[in-house]
């Protein structure tokens, strides 16, 4: 058995799959399923960052709002992510600029960065304590060959108004950032406990008077001046609907040609002992992401575990979103843990999970209005960066519904490229993942070689 398989196999045998992700449990005050008929000013479907934030913003503006959620608030990606509150640094500028042009790209950047400020403000306004550490986020290289790309991204970003700072090796070491991370670019933001954040939004929405129906999947809807939503045991009607179902939206028959649900995975280690924490030295607990094509993210939690995400993405034929383990991804993450933190060889992995984000071919947000009456609003896209953006979308959509168009929302308007029909979509996405993985493996092999010769 080679070293790689051995690591993946041994870590992996004891891994516990958590079907609800690592941060949330089913709420003790789970709201009752919808029974009978109800009506409101707006029906929001989906209770993640986008749905809860929109419902809350609309209610504050005086609307009567119903939320239909198939499981419970935070069941989707909002309760499963890595908890990075990150703005424009997370997106690939070059690709972006080629797609929409410099002027338009500048406005996108403002949207992404403004979204971070929005969440920071809302946490205070709503009194949500979610272990937020405004440490900044560092996009850190693991191999010197990544410097050119990193600097290029910073340069293009700067031209677009994305504020980042280069952190050199000396500063990285002085700050106690683990030595696998050589140097990087840093941006405002930080890490939080996404379970506490989404539960805080849910609690605030309930307190504000939002009528939340949990365990209530939307099965179908009828269009017209009044939209009627059918659920298993009831129905709801309103003149307006907001689909905040993100990666699950194609299953409702909408946005099938605009976004694909992509599976993203995570592992969480056991709690680090004080000795392990001291040996790590990572005092500022900065959120780290890497410039791999399929990134790695590494962070410490407030309860002293480490959470690693991504490395290997997946797509299920037909845009399906089964809540099942992704063993290949957990194996890759387990190996990454061992390689980036060789001084913690005994640190066990306690569990793993996966979730779905929605991705357009241009990786940009997909937000708009549809229906014969133009009364069905939707929000998706934002790829793996929806913590800030999809929360902020709540304010922007509530303003739009109230007749005030925020220029930051107008700026997101662009033509989303069409997705391919199956089986071509499956083939295209699988081929892309395989190619990016090959490139990333080439980088990682260089890192291993450098470690072996040192
Ligand atoms: C492992 C992982 C790591 C990530 N890390 C980060 C990160 O660090 N930072 C970051 O910014 N982003 C991250 N993301 C992405 C981020 O989590 C998402 O972009 C964000 O949560 C999207 O929020 P949302 O409300 O749009 O969607 P979701 O949270 O997915 O909410 C959609 C909701 O709709 C409900 N629903 C679906 N269909 C129906 C139906 N028919 N009827 C009723 N309800 C329905 C679902 O149950 C779900 O609760 C990560 C994602 C994953 C999976």
11 lines ligand 1 (CB under 6 A): no
Closest CA to 302 of 130, 123, 80: 130
Per-domain boundaries in the chain: 3-453
Count of beta carbons in the 10 Å neighbourhood of residue 244? 31
57 lines ligand 1 (CB under 6 A): no
Q: What is the pLDDT of residues 123-132, one digit of tens each?
A: 999 999 999 9
- Mean pLDDT of the chain, nearest integer: 94
Distance of CA 367 to the CA centre of its chain: 16
What is the 189 CA–ligand 1 centroid distance (Å)? 19
Q: How far, CA to CA in Å, does 64 sit from each of 13, 40, 42, 126?
A: 49, 5, 7, 20
What is the 246 CA–ligand 1 centroid distance (Å)? 6
CB-based burial label for 37 (10 Å; 0-12, 13-18, 19+): exposed
For a substitution probing ligand 1, which of 243, 377, 380, 387 has the most ligand atoms within 8 Å of its CB? 387
Ligand 1 atom having least distance to the Cα of 218: 42
Distance CA 13, CA 297 (A): 22
Whose CA is closest to atom 33 on ligand 1? 46
pLDDT at residue 90 in the model = 78
Q: What share of the chain is helix, strand, coil (3-state, %, to 5)?
A: 40, 20, 40
CATH of domain 3-453: 3.50.50.60
Give 34's DSSP letter: P
What is the 238 CA–ligand 1 centroid distance (Å)? 24
Residue 298 in tokens: 């590494």
What SS3 state is found at 399? helix
Per-residue pLDDT of the chain (454 residues; tens, 9 = 90+): 333 333 333 445 557 999 999 999 999 999 999 999 999 999 999 999 999 999 999 999 999 999 999 999 999 999 999 999 999 987 888 878 888 889 999 999 999 999 999 999 999 999 999 999 999 999 999 999 999 999 999 999 999 999 999 999 999 999 999 999 999 999 999 999 999 999 999 999 999 999 999 999 999 999 999 999 999 999 999 999 999 999 999 999 999 999 999 999 999 999 999 999 999 999 999 999 999 999 999 999 999 999 999 999 999 999 999 999 999 999 999 999 999 999 999 999 999 999 999 999 988 999 999 999 999 999 999 888 999 999 999 999 999 999 999 999 999 999 999 999 999 999 999 999 999 999 999 999 999 999 998 7
83 lines ligand 1 (CB under 6 A): yes
Distance CA 100, CA 392 (A): 22
Spatial CB neighbours of 153, under 8 Å, sequence gap ≥ 6: 92, 93, 94, 139, 185, 291
68 lines ligand 1 (CB under 6 A): yes
For a substitution probing ligand 1, which of 52, 67, 245, 308 has the most ligand atoms within 8 Å of its CB? 245
Q: Give one DSSP letter per residue of 198-219, joined into a string.
A: HHHHHHHHHHHT-EEE-S----
Distance of CA 10 to the CA centre of its chain: 29
């Amino acid at each position: 058995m080679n070293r790689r398989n051995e690591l993946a196999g041994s870590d992996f045998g004891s891994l516990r799959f958590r079907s609800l992700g690592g941060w949330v449990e089913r709420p003790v005050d789970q709201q009752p399923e919808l029974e009978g008929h109800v009506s409101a000013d707006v029906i929001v479907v989906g209770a993640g960052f986008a749905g809860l934030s929109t419902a809350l913003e609309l209610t504050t503006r005086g609307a009567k709002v119903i939320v239909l959620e198939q499981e419970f608030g935070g069941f989707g990606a909002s309760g499963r992510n890595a908890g990075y509150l990150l703005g424009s640094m997370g997106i690939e500028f070059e690709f972006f600029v080629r797609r929409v042009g410099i002027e338009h790209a500048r406005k996108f950047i403002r949207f992404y960065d403004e979204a971070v400020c929005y969440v920071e403000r809302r946490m205070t306004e709503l009194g949500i304590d979610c272990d937020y550490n405004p440490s900044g986020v560092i996009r850190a290289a693991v191999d010197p060959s990544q410097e050119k790309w990193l600097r290029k991204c910073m340069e293009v970003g700067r031209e677009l108004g994305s504020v980042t700072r280069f952190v050199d090796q000396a500063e990285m070491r002085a700050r106690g950032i683990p030595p696998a991370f050589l140097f990087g670019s840093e941006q405002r933001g930080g890490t939080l406990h996404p379970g506490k954040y989404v539960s805080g939004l849910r609690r605030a929405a309930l307190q504000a008077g939002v009528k939340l129906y949990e365990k209530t999947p939307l099965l179908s809807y009828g269009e017209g001046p009044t939209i009627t939503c059918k659920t298993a045991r009831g129905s709801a009607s309103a003149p307006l609907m907001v689909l905040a179902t993100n990666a699950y939206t194609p299953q409702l028959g909408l946005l099938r040609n605009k976004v694909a649900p992509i599976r993203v995975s995570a592992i969480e280690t056991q709690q680090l002992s004080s000795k392990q924490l001291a040996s790590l030295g990572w005092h500022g607990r900065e959120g780290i992401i890497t410039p791999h094509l399929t990134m790695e993210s590494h962070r410490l939690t407030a309860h002293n575990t480490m959470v690693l995400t991504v490395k290997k993405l997946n797509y299920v034929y037909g845009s399906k979103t089964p809540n099942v383990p992704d063993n290949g991804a957990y194996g890759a993450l387990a190996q990454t843990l061992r390689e980036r933190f060789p001084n913690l060889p005994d640190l066990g992995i306690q569990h793993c999970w996966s979730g779905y984000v929605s991705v357009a071919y241009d990786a940009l947000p997909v937000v708009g209005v549809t229906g014969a009456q133009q009364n069905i609003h939707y929000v998706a896209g934002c790829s793996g960066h929806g913590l800030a953006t999809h929360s902020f979308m709540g304010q922007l959509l509530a303003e739009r519904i109230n007749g005030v168009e925020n220029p930051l929302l107008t700026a997101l308007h662009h033509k989303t490229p069409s997705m391919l029909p199956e089986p071509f979509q499956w083939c295209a996405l699988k081929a892309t993942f395989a190619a990016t993985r090959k490139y990333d493996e080439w980088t990682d092999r260089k890192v291993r070689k450098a470690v072996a010769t040192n």
